[in-house]
Amino acid sequence: MLSGITSPTRPWFKLATPDPEMMQYGPVKRWLDVVMTRMNDVMNRSNVYQSLPIIYRHLGVFGTAAMAVLEDDEDVIRTHPLPIGSYYLSNSHRLSVDTTYRVFSMTARQIVMQFGLDNVSNAVRGAWDNANYEAWFDVVHLTEPNIDRVNGKLNSRNKAFKSVYFELSGDGDKLLREAGFDEPPILSPRWEINGEDVYGSNCPGMMALGTGKALQLEQIRKANAIDKLVNPPMVAPTGLKNKLINLAPGGVTYVDEVDATKLVRPAYAVSPQLNDMLGSIADDRQMIEACFFSDLFNLFSTINTRSMPVEAVAAMQDEKLLQLGPVLERLNDEFLDPFVDRTFNIMARRNLFPEPPEELQGTPLKVEYVSILAQAQKSIGISSVERFVGFVGNLAKANPAALDKLNIDQTIDEYGNMLGVPATIVNSDDEVQDTREQRAQMEQQQQMMAMAQQAGATAKTLSDTNTADPSLLKTLSDAAQQPAVTQ
């Protein structure tokens, strides 16, 4: 999911305006492209891409994940994935998570460096004074809507979301810090929601839980069967009870009996049906891989698509992607959208963006995703455009007038948007119009120069044609002026 949704090696989102016509304006496109590039630089410099694999793992196995996105003096943003079982979530009236209580551990040194020595409890101060800097203490951090905020005040305690830190075993009601955030700092994506549930359900880990337990039991029984086959239980006569029996490879045990029934031998014949057990294990493994969409992510590596038509491969890919469609939409709504918004707002408050064009003043922006999976889901629209353009091209071979029905400029813009190409490589409508006007002027000048050269060459040819005196050119000129003189 990291490489398919939020790959660090390629752009996976871009910014756009709600008005498509504004996106055709050159300065707007370039400003949005610069902002996107700077946001990608900040994400690459931070630890975002170290935290995202943990979030995706929690989301797929447990159905719920949580990650704190906090401001950082060195990297602008810093992310902290929250361990499963260390936090409590609560929904708003819109059934979206807006409240988080989390418990985590910090050393005395970390608490003092982050919150200051005057704000810590006596226990932490004692550990600090005794140089016991690595003593661990439990800290609680809560974030929730600030329903007691005073409108009009801009201090940290009157922001949209309240943020409070306190020690779990602290001194009374003493707080480590009370502040606030302009947007939710903790993002909590969920795999699937059932009614009013706060935590996710029906995730791959839950769907494969029973099969996973069965697979573990089958592996244990297979190991026991092989162990009994290789090292079976033995029986021996009572005469060997107090004697040394060497069952090692090549070992020798000395006995007086010659009766085979009185020698050391397996207690019973072990013949486990390993093929049947291996078949059941392989079936369970396949079911678990199907629950985790392994066939989707390994589609082209597990299936020989070289012998298949291109249309069949595209149809197979579209069918697999439809299964992830609802999950990706929820991930965009509950995780990626808030994450991009929070990163943008933090950078904007630090003045890390250039001055926007006047056309964007007061205009909200929207996020469009151009990751591998997002583009793959858009491949249906891309293939439709390709088929339509190909159809028009075939018609144009028989009737060139068919091209009049195709808007070439709009087709290029739409195709580029579907592919998620950078805005800087596609000229705006104004730039295209200027280029075409310049080209038309140059072509007109070239035509005028060609006509002037042709007229000069004709005049020279006529003047050089001397059939008599005066020249033919003068004769023709007099003939052309004669009717005017007669009148």
pLDDT of 190: 95
- Once rounded to an integer, what is the mean pLDDT over residues 349-372? 87
In percent, the amount of the chain with pLDDT more than 90 equals 44
Flag whether pLDDT at 468 surpasses 70.
no
Whose structure tokens read 């994400």? 43
- Once rounded to an integer, what is the mean pLDDT over residues 472-486? 54
pLDDT of 408: 85
Flag whether pLDDT at 8 surpasses 60.
yes
Q: Please state, in angstroms and as integers, the Cα–Cα distance from residue 55 to each residue in 61, 79, 260, 363, 450, following that order.
A: 10, 11, 64, 32, 69
- Once rounded to an integer, what is the mean pLDDT over residues 198-224? 94
Averaged pLDDT score across all residues of the chain: 84
Closest CA to 81 of 53, 60, 101: 53
Q: How far apart are CA 14 and CA 413, in angstroms?
A: 15
Residue pLDDT, tens place only, 379-394: 666 777 888 888 888 8
| Alpha-carbon dihedral 446, 449, 455, 460, rounded to 10 degrees | -130
More confident residue, 179 or 313: 179
Flag whether pLDDT at 459 surpasses 50.
yes
pLDDT of 361: 84
What six digits make up the tokens of 83?
Answer: 């361990």
Which range (127-141, 181-195, 448-462) has the least confidence?
A: 448-462
- Once rounded to an integer, what is the mean pLDDT over residues 140-165? 88
- The H-or-E segment that residue 164 falls in is strand 161-167
Flag whether pLDDT at 27 surpasses 50.
yes
Q: Taking the model in full, what pTM does it have? A: 0.74
* Backbone φ and ψ of 145, nearest 5°: -60, 135
Q: How confident is the model at residue 484 (pLDDT cuts 50, 70, 90)?
A: very low
